[in-house]
């Protein structure tokens, strides 16, 4: 069995029935308020938001950044600009990266979302949930193969 890549995960994610409206990448500008970002995240049922400026990714907002922002800004968080709470230049994955590499990156850096770039162009974002779904699918397939092998075991 060949090793899965980030490209495979993105393809699998795009084929999820419940993910049809979520295929698009949602982004905001750095001068948008956190209130607007949170509203957009809630409306689209997503847990991260890419921050773009002049067609370039400059940051990422996830629940972690919102919690850190709440800790540092207190009650005024919702009026803060996204540039003041975003993760600047977040780590990214490339399409050819292995899923094991991505999993290791996310685990080592304690992050839940990684933007994916192809030749410098943002093409998607993957979450730890996407990796978990892929692992469950792989285990189910291997389980099926093992059961088939055992069933056909020569006597």
Residue by residue, pLDDT tens for the chain (155 residues) are 458 899 999 998 887 755 545 457 899 999 999 999 999 999 999 999 999 999 999 999 999 999 999 999 999 999 999 999 999 999 999 999 999 999 999 999 999 999 999 998 999 999 998 988 877 777 666 777 778 778 777 66
Q: What is the CATH number of the domain that holds 85?
A: 3.10.580.10
Which among 65, 61, 67 is positioned nearest to 30, based on CA atoms?
Answer: 61
Residue 26 · residue 50 · CB < 8 Å: yes
Looking at the 3D structure of the chain, how many domains does it have? Answer: 1
Residue 29 · residue 51 · CB < 8 Å: yes
Residue 30 lies in a domain: yes
At 3 the pLDDT is 83
Residue 1 lies in a domain: no
Alpha helices by DSSP H, 46-127:
63-73, 99-109
At 1 the pLDDT is 44
- For the chain, give me the number of helices (H) and strands (E)? 5, 7
pLDDT tens by residue, 39-51: 999 999 999 999 9
Which residues form the domain of 96?
6-151
At 21 the pLDDT is 52
Residue 92 lies in a domain: yes
Residue 37 lies in a domain: yes
Give the sheet arrangement for strand 121-127, strand by strand: 93-94, 113-118, 121-127
Alpha-carbon dihedral sign for residues 7, 20, 54, 61: negative
Token pair, residue 46, equals 């997503």
Residue 108 lies in a domain: yes
How many of the other CB atoms lie within 10 Å of CB of 132? 11
pLDDT tens by residue, 13-39: 887 755 545 457 899 999 999 999 999
Strands (E), 22-67: 27-28, 48-53, 56-62
């Amino acid at each position: 069995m060949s090793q899965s890549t980030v490209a495979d995960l993105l393809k699998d994610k795009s084929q999820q029935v419940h993910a049809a409206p979520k295929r698009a990448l949602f982004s905001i500008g750095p001068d948008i308020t956190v209130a607007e970002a949170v509203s957009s995240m809630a409306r689209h049922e997503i847990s991260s938001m890419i921050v773009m400026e002049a067609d370039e990714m400059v940051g990422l907002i996830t629940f972690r950044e919102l919690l850190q922002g709440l800790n540092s800004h207190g009650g005024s968080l919702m009026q803060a600009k996204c540039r003041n709470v975003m993760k600047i230049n977040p780590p990214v994955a490339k399409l050819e990266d292995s899923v094991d590499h991505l999993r290791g990156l996310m685990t080592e850096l304690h992050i839940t979302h990684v933007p994916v770039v192809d030749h410098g162009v943002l093409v998607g974002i993957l979450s730890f949930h996407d990796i978990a779904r892929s692992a469950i699918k792989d285990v189910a397939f291997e389980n099926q193969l093992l059961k088939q092998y055992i069933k056909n075991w020569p006597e």
